[in-house]
Amino acid sequence: MEGTIFKIQRFCTDDGPGIRTTVFFKGCPLRCRWCHNPESQSFKPQLMYNGELCVNCGRCIERCPKGCHSFEEFSHSFKSENCIACGKCIAVGCNSLSVSGYNISTQKVLDEVLKDKIFYDSSSGGLTLSGGEPFAQYDFANELLQKAKENNIHTCVETCGYLRDDKLKAIIPLVDLFLIDYKETDSQKHKEFTGVENEIIIKNIKSIDDNGGKIVLRCPIIPGLNNTDFHLKGIADLTSNLKNIERIELEPYHNFGVDKYKNLCMKYSCKDVNVPTEDEKQSWVKLIKSFTDVPVKCF
Amino acid sequence: MNALDKLRDDIFLSDNNACFIERDRILSSIEKLDEDKNAPDYFQRVFARVLDNVSTPINENDYFVGRVVEGLPEEGVSSPNTLLLSTGHMSFNYEKILKIGLDGILSEINENANRLGDKKSKEYADNAKIVVDAISRFMLRYADEAEKYGKTKCAAALRLVSHKGANDYFSALQLIWMLHMIASCYMGNRDYAFGRFDQFMYPYYKEALDNGATRNELTELLAGFFVKTDEICGRGTWNYQPKPILPQASKQYINIGGENPNEFSQVVLDAAVLLNLAQPQITVLLKPEADKAFTQKVFESMAVVVDSLHIYNYELIKKALINKGIPEDVASDYTFSACCTFDLNYRNIREEYYSPSVPLLCETLNDREYSSIEDILKVYGEKFKDNIEQAITNMIHCRDDLFARMAFAVDSLFISECNNRCRSILEGGLEYRVFNVFIPGIATIGDSLAAIDEIVFKQKRFSYKEFMDIVNSNYDGNEELRLELTNMTKFGNDTEYDKYAVMAGKYLLDAIDELKFDSNVLIAPGFYSLERENSSAAQIGATPDGRKAGEAFSENQSPVYGGDKNGITALLKSLASLPFNRTVTGGLNLTFSRKIDENILSSLVLSYFKMGGFHVGITVLDREKLKDAMVNPEKYKSLTVRLYGFSEYFISLPKWQQEAVLNRTEY
């Protein structure tokens, strides 16, 4: 079976325990305002253009079948509306254009993942599915996880938790650790920030827990959006009743994704958010810890 | 602030332009006397006069005494006076010295001289006495001075070891320091190393514990010993801002681990962490299963001291030595002194040859036209073999009698078979001649062969001659092709393209194995460049991998800059496919963009060694910090980075080398 991914990254050390290979799935049902991987939102391959690396050689203009590239006032302009991400515009030695996303079979992904088996075994690492939303390509994710388990590889899935509960329950035995997002306690705000309400997500977190799945709760904290006492207490409250939670991980806002939006000709509504200070981060940790005994890690 | 902190601070307050001025002043005045240099004891008497006349400074915070007066050199003086000169780069046989002391060494020499009975041996014994007496007098002078400072323990230790062996942990370290300092600061060369420090110091450590000392006390004492290595080295760099005269840019190597790590091996690590300065360089010879607690401690320490600790795959190297015919007891006892330079501990001195492996490849490619990679490698291997044979033969037969006599002044008494044979290190006293033969640029070599195979032999886009004409024109008018070649998958990505570097490595090592020398000659090959990838690049034309004439080629065992794109695990797998099991020297530096958890570090290195990896040294770079350090060096006096086989202070590096560090692939 084939799926669409945009990257396989070896030697990941923040996506679960030990040394891991992370497979980034393309496509996500949510549209989080702060998303730092905008190339992961669409299910289709996309052309990315980095103007800072462009040397204005003009070779892409000649090669593009859809007329997406042009010179405007002596510098390169890329308009994505008609782009089919065929990649024909990318000339040898061009560093400014790249296609994000490609189709690949589960076997090919597994072959790549198996290359680092020796490092997983010595570090208690393994495979992590990330994205995008891995469960948005459910069958592909399912087959990949099955193959990993057949090869005794530890599995993690980074998920937004937004999927049908019967599908989730079926896949729990294949996942050694869920890195599941919890983004906002107030459901209406959740919808405002991500495009969907949070009831399904909260239900699924509890379902994973009830069915023995191990959980790390990952909480992006965005100043001005969800760094409220109400939500921080909500995180603590949710976790206090979970039996299989290992820890809470706070992921404070960072601005690494700003350039990617530009490269994809997309608008980024969080580009003016201030990166939180260490003191702010510590105040969040302190507040959560005052309501729960679950360990809290802040990146 | 405790004494150790004060001593550490003094390192950063010291003037890096100052040098060991007294040595040079004394030698200059002796030179003017116009004495007969051919007198058989001339250099020994010179040595004695130096030691008798230098000062005996002490800092109130010193744990062990033994310092050198520093001052700015006379105008125009930029290199050491060579009236006394040595090869440097060796490890003394401290195990023996600590046991039998200077008197014991003299007795041994006298017995052997009497047994041998020839004139040369008698001269050796007479000269040894001049040297030993001078060292003893120097130690006794220092003992008196120590007494004045209330350092009675140092004074007592020095009075003892001025003649006898050490009788405890403290006197052992005091004796080692005196000899090391004399050699490093007065003999005229650098990189005297400490050999298998944890092995010969263990009995003294154990005895100290048995007598009631605590591990913490002994660790602090050891840190107080280690800081002295920084005192004599300052913050100079080896090729850019060395101290103007001695000790120039010496690095100080402590080897630990091997077959039997002990509790003191861990104390060495603790002391290095406690001190956390650029010196000494801790070389770990790691056999992971030998002592699990030690192995764990190595990675805990590496996560803290980072670039001043590096690790070799002990078993891999030992097996390679046995395969080269070295007896197991000797093969088990190897060391690394200097930057990735291999030694059979105190049995040899460092001799080395940087093979022109990249220029020889260029020469081979232009000799004639080829139809396969194997054809190229056969000719390349032959050419390489001839080059090495000639170079080593020249080194073996090179004879400089004056230098040989000069070099005897001290070193011969403390290494190899000199005292048994009553012959100095350059007159037949060495048990082994070990020639480190370095092969720089293995990734550039592999990538060049890959490019030829792909573009010429497989795709047949150009004839061999057409392609080489383009390369030799420095890709003039063929920039698109050059970019294509530059963007081809390079060595270091765990792909099929790694096979070219592997094949080349095998052919070159085959060529070395075919060489025949006397049985006491060991050719110690390794993939290593030091800084040849930059310093010799200007003379090398364009290569088929897209590299233009004059550009740097690949460093040490690493891929070309920016060539490895699949992450560190892929890189380590590529590297492990190189024929390291036939090499005994070389080095790999890995650069991380942030601090690495010790468990991850341990997993990376142990998995790498399991796959056949050779060596790992690491640097953690904060790119923004380094960029700022280039602009505001005064804020980053203690910032170190790993280069080649050692760590250096970043702000002391030349701009090109700072940029090279910034150009490395980070993980």
Out of B487, B599, B667, whose CB is closest to A123?
B599
Model pLDDT, residue A195: 95
Q: What is the mean pLDDT of residues B375-401?
A: 94
Q: Return residues 53-92 of A near B (CB < 8 Å).
A: 92
A128: which strand partners?
A22, A156
Chain A interface, best mutation among B494, B592, B603, by max A CB count within 10 A:
B603
The H-or-E segment that residue B192 falls in is: strand B192-193
Task: Say if the Cβ atoms of B599 and A18 lie within 8 Å.
Answer: yes
| Interface membership of A115 toward B (CB under 8 Å) | yes
- Please tell me the distance from the alpha carbon of residue B469 to that of residue B446, in angstroms, as a whole number: 20
Model pLDDT, residue B240: 61
Which residue, among B376, B548, B410, has the nearest Cα to B97 in the 3D structure?
B410
Q: What is the mean pLDDT of residues B146-158?
A: 97
Model pLDDT, residue B247: 65
Q: What is the mean pLDDT of residues A89-107?
A: 91
Task: Say if the Cβ atoms of B604 and A93 lie within 8 Å.
Answer: no
Task: Say if the Cβ atoms of A93 and B483 lie within 8 Å.
Answer: yes
Model pLDDT, residue B657: 76
Reading phi first (left if > 0) and then psi (alpha if -120 to 50, else beta), residue B597 is in beta
- What's the one-letter identity of residue B644? Y
Model pLDDT, residue B384: 98
pLDDT tens across B236-278, in order?
A: 665 566 666 666 678 899 999 999 999 999 999 999 999 999 8
Q: Return residues 405-434 of B near A (CB < 8 Å).
A: none
Out of B484, B567, B606, whose CB is closest to A9?
B567
Distances (CA, A) of B216 to B268, B304, B549: 11, 18, 56
- Please tell me the distance from the alpha carbon of residue B370 to that of residue B379, in angstroms, as a whole number: 10
pLDDT tens across B295-321, in order?
A: 999 999 998 888 889 999 999 999 999
Model pLDDT, residue B651: 79
Model pLDDT, residue B392: 96
Cβ distance B339 to B644 under 8 Å?
yes
Task: Say if the Cβ atoms of B569 and A92 lie within 8 Å.
Answer: no
Q: What is the mean pLDDT of residues B618-647?
A: 78
- Please tell me the distance from the alpha carbon of residue A201 to that of residue A32, in angstroms, as a whole number: 14
Model pLDDT, residue B243: 66
Give yes or no for residue B49 having a pLDDT over 90. Answer: yes
Residues in contact with B71: Cβ distance below 8 Å, sequence separation at least 6, in sequence order = B18, B19, B21, B22
Out of B480, B569, B599, whose CB is closest to A11?
B569
pLDDT tens across A190-245, in order?
A: 999 999 999 999 999 999 999 999 999 999 999 999 999 999 999 999 998 899 99
Model pLDDT, residue B666: 67
Neighbours of B254 (CB within 10 A): 25
Distances (CA, A) of B97 to B180, B309, B411, B421, B426: 12, 27, 12, 17, 21
**In the block, residue with structure tokens 């290195």:** B605
Out of B480, B596, B600, whose CB is closest to A92?
B480
Distance from CA of A120 to the nearest CA of B (A): 8
Grade residue A91 by pLDDT with cuts at 50, 70 and 90. confident
Neighbours of A277 (CB within 10 A): 11
pLDDT tens across B14-43, in order?
A: 887 888 889 989 999 999 998 998 999 999
Q: What is the mean pLDDT of residues B372-392?
A: 98
Closest chain B residue to A116, measured at CA: B569
| Interface membership of A282 toward B (CB under 8 Å) | no
| Interface membership of A188 toward B (CB under 8 Å) | no
pLDDT tens across B67-109, in order?
A: 998 888 877 777 788 899 888 899 999 999 999 999 999 999 9
Model pLDDT, residue B658: 82
Numbered ranges of CATH 3.20.20.70 in chain A: 2-38+104-298
Of A61-70, B350-359, B400-409, B642-651, give the lowest mean pLDDT range. B642-651
Give yes or no for residue B403 having a pLDDT over 90. Answer: no
Distance from CA of A21 to the nearest CA of B (A): 10
Cβ distance B180 to B402 under 8 Å?
no
Query: Phi, psi at residue B420, to the nearest 5°?
Result: -65, -40
Q: Quote the DSSP letter at residue A40.
A: G
Q: Which fold has domain A2-38+104-298?
A: TIM Barrel (3.20.20)
Task: Say if the Cβ atoms of A115 and B569 lie within 8 Å.
Answer: yes
Distance from CA of A98 to the nearest CA of B (A): 14
Task: Say if the Cβ atoms of A11 and B606 lie within 8 Å.
Answer: no
Distance from CA of A179 to the nearest CA of B (A): 20
Q: Report the percentage of chain A scoring pLDDT > 90.
A: 76
Model pLDDT, residue B245: 64
Distance from CA of A19 to the nearest CA of B (A): 7
Give yes or no for residue A275 having a pLDDT over 70. Answer: yes
Cβ distance B455 to B485 under 8 Å?
yes
| SS3 call for A183 | coil
- Please tell me the distance from the alpha carbon of residue A299 to that of residue A57, in angstroms, as a whole number: 41
| Interface membership of B599 toward A (CB under 8 Å) | yes
Model pLDDT, residue B665: 66
Neighbours of B34 (CB within 10 A): 7
| Interface membership of B666 toward A (CB under 8 Å) | no
Q: Return residues 545-574 of B near A (CB < 8 Å).
A: 566-570, 573
Which residues in chain A are closer than 8 Å to B570, comparing Cβ atoms? Answer: 10-11, 115-116
- Structure token digits, residue B62: 């010193």
Of B134-143, B150-159, B335-344, give the lowest mean pLDDT range. B335-344
Grade residue A175 by pLDDT with cuts at 50, 70 and 90. very high
pLDDT tens across B187-209, in order?
A: 988 889 999 999 999 999 999 99
- Structure token digits, residue B442: 């293995």
Closest chain A residue to B546, measured at CA: A93
- Please tell me the distance from the alpha carbon of residue B592 to that of residue B621, in angstroms, as a whole number: 6
Burial zone of B75 (CB within 10 Å; 0-12 exposed, 13-18 middle, 19+ buried): exposed
The H-or-E segment that residue B640 falls in is: strand B640-643
Reading phi first (left if > 0) and then psi (alpha if -120 to 50, else beta), residue A159 is in beta
Give yes or no for residue B414 having a pLDDT over 90. Answer: yes
Per the prediction, chain A carries an average pLDDT of 93
pLDDT tens across B586-632, in order?
A: 999 888 888 888 999 999 999 999 999 999 998 887 778 888 888 88
Distances (CA, A) of A35 to A31, A220, B165, B417: 7, 10, 70, 70
Model pLDDT, residue B242: 64
Model pLDDT, residue B611: 98
CB pairs under 8 A between A and B: 56
CATH architecture of A46-100: 2-Layer Sandwich (3.30)
Model pLDDT, residue B76: 73
Q: Report the percentage of chain A scoring pLDDT > 70.
A: 100
The H-or-E segment that residue B385 falls in is: helix B373-397
Domains and CATH numbers, chain B: 3-345 (3.20.70.20), 348-582 (no CATH)
Cβ distance B433 to B348 under 8 Å?
yes
- Please tell me the distance from the alpha carbon of residue B542 to that of residue A262, in angstroms, as a whole number: 38
Neighbours of A121 (CB within 10 A): 18
DSSP secondary structure, A217-248, as one string? EEEEE-TTTT--HHHHHHHHHHHHT-SSEEEE
Model pLDDT, residue A123: 97
| Interface membership of B486 toward A (CB under 8 Å) | yes
- Structure token digits, residue B332: 């088990």
| Interface membership of B231 toward A (CB under 8 Å) | no
Model pLDDT, residue B248: 66
Model pLDDT, residue B344: 97
Numbered ranges of CATH 3.30.70.20 in chain A: 46-100
Model pLDDT, residue A162: 96
| Interface membership of A107 toward B (CB under 8 Å) | no
DSSP secondary structure, A272-288, as one string? TPPPPPHHHHHHHHHHH
Distance from CA of B457 to the nearest CA of A (A): 21
Model pLDDT, residue B72: 86
Out of A9, A19, A115, whose CB is closest to B603?
A19
Q: What is the mean pLDDT of residues A73-86?
A: 86
Model pLDDT, residue B263: 98
Q: What is the mean pLDDT of residues B512-532?
A: 94
Task: Say if the Cβ atoms of B494 and A115 lie within 8 Å.
Answer: yes
Q: Return residues 578-597 of B near A (CB < 8 Å).
A: 596-597
Neighbours of A167 (CB within 10 A): 14
pLDDT tens across B548-599, in order?
A: 999 999 999 999 988 998 989 999 999 999 999 999 999 998 888 888 889 9
Distance from CA of B376 to the nearest CA of A (A): 28
At residue A101's C-alpha, the angle toward residues A96 and A105, to 5°, is 140
Model pLDDT, residue B312: 97
Task: Say if the Cβ atoms of B604 and A18 lie within 8 Å.
Answer: no
ipTM: 0.89
Task: Say if the Cβ atoms of B603 and A122 lie within 8 Å.
Answer: yes
Give yes or no for residue B330 having a pLDDT over 80. Answer: yes
Cβ distance B256 to B197 under 8 Å?
yes
| Interface membership of B480 toward A (CB under 8 Å) | yes
- Please tell me the distance from the alpha carbon of residue A90 to that of residue B306, in angstroms, as a whole number: 41
Q: What is the mean pLDDT of residues B384-395?
A: 97
More confident: A272 or B170: B170
| Interface membership of A116 toward B (CB under 8 Å) | yes
Closest chain B residue to A93, measured at CA: B483
Q: Quote the DSSP letter at residue B352.
A: E
Alpha helices (H) along chain A: 59-63, 106-114, 117-123, 138-150, 165-171, 187-194, 199-210, 229-240, 258-263, 278-289
Q: What is the mean pLDDT of residues B356-362?
A: 97
